[in-house]
Amino acid sequence: RIEKDAILKVNSWDSTDKKGGKLLIQSMSTFIICAGGKIDLTGAGYKAGGSCYTGESYNAPSLRQGEHNLGGGGGSGFGCYAGGGGYGTPGETNGYRMSGIDNGGVCYGDKELTILHLGSGGGDSTNGNGGGALKIECVQFENNGIIQVNGESATSTSSGSGSGGSIYITCDKFVMNDNDNCYINAIGGMNENKGGDGGMGRMRIRCADEESVARYVESSQINPKPYIG
């Protein structure tokens, strides 16, 4: 149970110790997020790349190169503008695209979330980390607050933002409050300047009562659209 105004976070991914950024919640009955409560794994995933470096991703560390890192990590741009991290959708290539180079991070993983991946970091950034990964297993899921595993938005003009992370919910019954302050997001960070935006994360909801999920998807309270099943 997440109480009113409480925020649950985790330690961010540590590439040295190879741990962090993930959260597993298990309940034998109803798991409730009260109004004003929040689970926030924004920026808890793979790290952004420093100056002239790509963002980290699932299959590659941060590398000193302009292109993406052959994974989800955004490319640095080498003095131009960096790309955003990719995951469920590709990261955005920088606003001033370099000839023949696509430095937005690529897609990886699958809709079933066979592996609960972290989101990837943006290139050439100190604050464009990817989103974390969350799994919730319960009998009844009741959300009156906020769940977000978003990529961080890069603040520097040339930096790439991180991609959203993963959310996997398994339950028999799914309930959400119908208001603007109640939502579930795994979206990429945005850069209002010329650095690339992060791609979307991935989400799966496995519920015995699938119709109880569909109405909230249609109302845009769940973003991106999850795989249901």
**Least confident span in 91-105, 113-127, 153-167, 178-192:** 91-105
Read off the pLDDT of residues 144-196 as tens digits, 9 standing for 90 and up. 999 999 999 998 878 999 999 999 999 999 999 988 899 999 999 998 777 89
140: β partners: 30, 173
Q: What is the pTM of this model?
A: 0.94
Residue 227: closest CA among 215, 213, 219:
213
Q: What is the pLDDT of residues 18-39, one digit of tens each?
A: 999 999 999 999 999 999 999 9
Whether pLDDT at 14 is above 60: yes
Task: Determine the distance from the C-alpha atom of residue 223 to the mean position of all C-alpha atoms in its chain, rounded to a whole number.
Answer: 11
**Which pLDDT does position 97 carry in this prediction?**
54
- CA angle at residue 110 from 217 to 187, to 5 degrees? 45
pLDDT confidence band for 96 (50 / 70 / 90): low
Spell out the residues 6+ positions from residue 46 whose beta carbon is closer than 8 angstroms to its own: 13, 15, 21, 55, 56, 57, 58, 72, 73, 85, 118, 119, 120, 121, 129, 130, 162
Question: In a 3-state reduction of DSSP, which class is residue 216?
Answer: helix
Q: Residue 98: pLDDT above 80?
A: no
Among candidates 133, 132, 130, which has minimal Cα distance to 151? Answer: 130
Q: Which helix (H) or strand (E) holds 166?
A: strand 166-171
* Assigned token pair, 181: 């302050």
Residue type, 223: N
At 99 the pLDDT is 47
CA atoms within 13 A on the CB side of 14: 6
Instruction: Label residue 101 by pLDDT band (50, 70, 90).
Output: low
